[in-house]
Structure 1
Amino acid sequence: MALAIRDVREHDLDAVLALNNAAGRTILALDAAQLRYFYDHADYFRVAEIDGHLAGFLIALREGSQYDSPNYRWFSEHYPQFAYIDRIVIANAYRRHGLGRIFYCDVTSFAEVRVPLLTCEVFLEPRDDVVVLFHGTYGFQEVGQQRMGDTGPQVSLLAKDLPSYAYVRETYLDHGGLPDEPWLTERERPFHPDSPQRRLAGERRP
């Protein structure tokens, strides 16, 4: 079995959309325009490919986006810098094989050299104890709860401290930015010139 974790490509989008919308109640449905927004603006959008088949994907955004999500807005109101995992989806045929942990390791290595916190939410209605336990064992702690809209589900808002960030900031980010190394730059999504991320004061991107 050949596994590759790589940046999403435009030709993947139809398969990503189908996979997202077949995932069940704990993953919010998307339409093509919403997925295109992620393709154009997400800081991290990677897919898992197994033997040429799309096996899953993870999307994450940093602070400063115009993303209209109540959970993303909650983190924006409470933390100045973070990477927010909007969704992770694994195809049914590849679940319970460790792909979730592989994705979380990969997004952590992306986030820990850029921000002090990795954030996400888990649904409490319906509650999935496997998902709750997964995040707890991976170092996430609950920092709040909220209901998504007037009639939406209750969610637990989670954050994980990234202790490596302080060293990276003091050693690199405050002195010219990250080194121009493939393992750092390959996961950096392109930005529009007028995007909020480009306008953040003091921000340097590889």
Structure 2
Amino acid sequence: MSIVIRDVREHELDSVLALNNAAGPAILPLDAARLRRFYTDADYFRVAERDGTLAGFLVGFSSTANHDSDNFRWFREHYPDFFYIDRIVVASRRRGGGVGRAFYADVQSHAELRYPQLACEVFLDDGNDPALLFHGSFGFREVGQHVMATTGDAPGHRAAMLLKDLCSYPWVHDTYGGHLPDVPWIAAPRAHRASAHRATGT
């Protein structure tokens, strides 16, 4: 069956939270309040649907977002303009089936019209060669390492900070500046969600 990438719906947040907190040590845990902030504030919050069920999700922020992630702040201290992938989670039973690649193709198509670089991190504490290889196959390169702040008794995670130059951005920026054509496939994911909220009165 095909993979459908679409905006998250508010009633799906509990399922998204369960997916996140079952993902294992490579993904930081969330509580409902923080996930709600993602739903309200993220520039990109989309889910993958396969066979009628959620197969994963991806959350992303622009470099100007009011986002409190330690790793996001590292990128903002080093780079002026980028789009940041905060997290991608794929359900365990769907891993290896193309969901991650579908997400990265979709988030890149959003980012490359608006930002010169795409940023993310991979935790290194337990070795994470599959994730590093996955990102390398998409053109990411390591631009540094960062140890996150210690929380409670737990030491901070060490992360490889990854960046990808988006080759389409210079042409788009020179041609259209900040005024992209008003066509549905270019509309930002949050714009689709806002339109849906206005239509339903929520």
Alignment TM-score, normalising by the size of structure 2: 0.90
Query: What amino acid does structure 1 have at the position aligned with 2:182?
Result: D
Secondary structure of residue in 2 paired with 1:46: strand
Distance in 2 of aligned mates of 1:66 and 1:40: 11
Q: What does residue 14 of structure 1 align with?
A: 14
Instruction: Tell me the CA shift for residue 158 of structure 1.
Output: 0.5
1:161 matched to 2:158: no
Query: Structure 2 vs 1, CA of residues 186 and 119 (structure 1 numbering), >3 Å: closer, same or farther?
Result: closer
Distance in 2 of aligned mates of 1:149 and 1:10: 31
Amino-acid identity (%)? 57
Q: What does residue 199 of structure 1 align with?
A: none
Instruction: Tell me the CA shift for residue 186 of structure 1.
Output: 5.1
Q: What does residue 197 of structure 1 align with?
A: none
Once the two structures are superposed, residues 66-89 of structure 1 have per-residue CA deviations (whole angstroms, 9 ceiling, x without a partner) of 211110001111111110000000
Q: What does residue 101 of structure 1 align with?
A: 101
Query: What amino acid does structure 2 have at the position aligned with 1:154?
Result: R
Secondary structure of residue in 2 paired with 1:182: coil
Distance in 1 of aligned mates of 2:116 and 2:176: 14
Taking only aligned residues, the RMSD between alpha carbons, in angstroms, comes to 1.6
Q: Which runs of 5+ in 2 are unaligned?
A: 195-202
Once the two structures are superposed, residues 93-146 of structure 1 have per-residue CA deviations (whole angstroms, 9 ceiling, x without a partner) of 111111111100100000000000000000110111110111111100111101
Distance in 2 of aligned mates of 1:65 and 1:185: 18
Q: What does residue 197 of structure 2 align with?
A: none
Secondary structure of residue in 2 paired with 1:25: coil
1:77-156 pair list within 5 angstroms = 77-150=77-150, 151-156=155-160
Q: Please tell me whether the aligned partners of residues 44 and 189 of structure 1 are also in contact (alpha carbons under 8 angstroms).
A: no
Q: Please tell me whether the aligned partners of residues 42 and 189 of structure 1 are also in contact (alpha carbons under 8 angstroms).
A: no
Q: Which runs of 5+ in 1 are unaligned?
A: 193-206
Instruction: Tell me the CA shift for residue 152 of structure 1.
Output: 1.1
1:30 matched to 2:30: yes
Distance in 2 of aligned mates of 1:50 and 1:43: 23
